[in-house]
Amino acid sequence: MFQALLTLIGTLFAPTSQAQSDYPWIEVTRTIEGMEDPARIKEVIENRIPGFLKQLEQDHETPLLFQFWGMSRNIDESHLSTGRRTVPPTILRAFNTIWNVGYDSSYIHGHAGLTHTYGYLFSNLETPFGHKRARYTRNEIETGFGLPAGLFSGRPSKGTLFSNLTVFAGKIAFRDHEPAVKLLDEAIGLIGRTAPAELLSYPYGTLKVRRLVEWTRNDAFTLELRTDIVSFPRANTAGRNTALLIYSIVYKKDGKDRARPRLITVFPVDSGFANNLFKIEGLGERVPFKLKYNASVPGDLNPALLVGRRFIVE
């Protein structure tokens, strides 16, 4: 009864402005980030955000979806010196009692899909670009692509945040890799009627996409970093961003068959950010680069510099 009363009061006085779109995630995170017991964390989330955890349970029914994401570091580039986690490890641990995907014991390196979707909703870390959850709370992606509001939010009307984002980003990022496309279509078939029709029928082929590729190879591995910048086909009345960035990587040990691309992260960017990526002076055959957007691979090359090719694919 007391918890229900608190929830009602919170609803009545919920922030309504765009500048306060962190509600209710920021308050719930403050409540649970000091808790250790996964069961208690999930209980508080269910009380404050009823039905949220059903998304994770629904995703778990289609484990093939997990295979489209790579690994990431749960420490933002801006906080490498402090080591502060982007998402509290206790929260990821609680979510992972449902998913059971790969993480190290400290929840620093682990599944990019879980960290960068549900995890980011519960991140109160301040970064130079604001809170990580903003990509899912401001409705810019949906507005820019003419999709129903909230499709990529913490509480979508159909599908789940993770499955919806995997389908949409995968259709774009895997477009040049037939095995990955076929596997994604298989996953979509397994999702069935829970997948939003707007994503299944979306005209992906009409989108304007530019790709920056960074490629290197040595005796141990081949690594390809792929940054897709997808221009919004509609005016973004929900914010100032003009395109979607989709970052994926292909990592394989030498001697292995061709590896599939894996998603790392997805977020909207403005025109200045996008234009800086494609500067001619940054292109070439032997240029330095490194893993970005908190991507991780075995051995964790980040923040070590790599040397290889950087080129543009239109």
Examine residue 158 and state whether it is found in any structural domain, yes or no: yes
Q: Predicted confidence band at 9 (pLDDT cuts at 50, 70, 90)?
A: very low
- Rounded to an integer, the average pLDDT of 67-87 is 92
Sequence-ordered list of residues with C-beta below 8 angstroms from that of 138, at least 6 positions apart, any chain: 18, 21, 238, 239
Do 228 and 288 lie in a common domain?
A: yes
pLDDT digits 0-9 by tens, 224-253: 999 999 999 999 999 999 999 999 999 988
For residue 185, tell me if it sits in a domain. no
Are residues 24 and 77 part of one domain?
A: yes
CB neighbour list of residue 216: distance below 8 Å, 6 or more residues apart? 222, 223, 289, 306, 307, 308, 309
Question: Distance (Å, rounded) from C-alpha 153 to C-alpha 133?
Answer: 9
* Claim to verify: residue 240 and residue 126 sit in the same structural domain: no
Q: State the CB neighbour count (10 A cutoff) for residue 104.
A: 12
Identify the residue whose tokens are 């599939």.
260
Q: Are the C-beta atoms of residues 94 and 42 closer than 8 Å to each other?
A: yes
- Burial (CB < 10 A; 0-12, 13-18, 19+), residue 259, is middle
pLDDT over 60 (residue 91): yes
Say whether both 127 and 238 belong to one domain. no
Average pLDDT, the chain: 90
Number of structural domains (the chain) is 2
Q: Are residues 158 and 209 located together in one domain of the fold?
A: no
pLDDT, position 130: 85
Range of the domain at 259: 205-313
> Dihedral of the CA atoms 217, 278, 264, 244 (nearest 10)?
-160
The arithmetic mean of pLDDT across residues 37-42, rounded, is: 98
Residue 9 resides in a domain: no
Comparing CA positions, the residue from 113, 248, 238, 245 lying closest to residue 187 is: 113
Same domain membership, residue 226 and residue 158 = no
Of the residues 130, 146, 163, which one is the last residue of a structural domain?
A: 163
Co-location of 223 and 122 in the same domain: no
**In degrees rounded to 5, what are phi and psi of residue 93?**
-65, -40
Share of the chain above pLDDT 90, in %: 78
Question: Which residue stretches of the chain are H helix?
Answer: 2-12, 25-32, 38-48, 52-60, 89-99, 112-114, 120-121, 134-137, 140-145, 161-173, 178-191, 197-200, 271-277
8 pLDDT band (50/70/90 cuts)? very low
What pTM did the predictor assign?
Answer: 0.91
Residue 23 buriedness (CB in 10 A; 0-12 / 13-18 / 19+)? middle
Residue, of 118 and 255, whose pLDDT is higher: 118
The one-character DSSP state at 103 is B
pLDDT digits (tens, 9 = 90+) for 151-199: 999 999 999 999 999 999 999 999 999 999 999 999 999 998 899 999 9
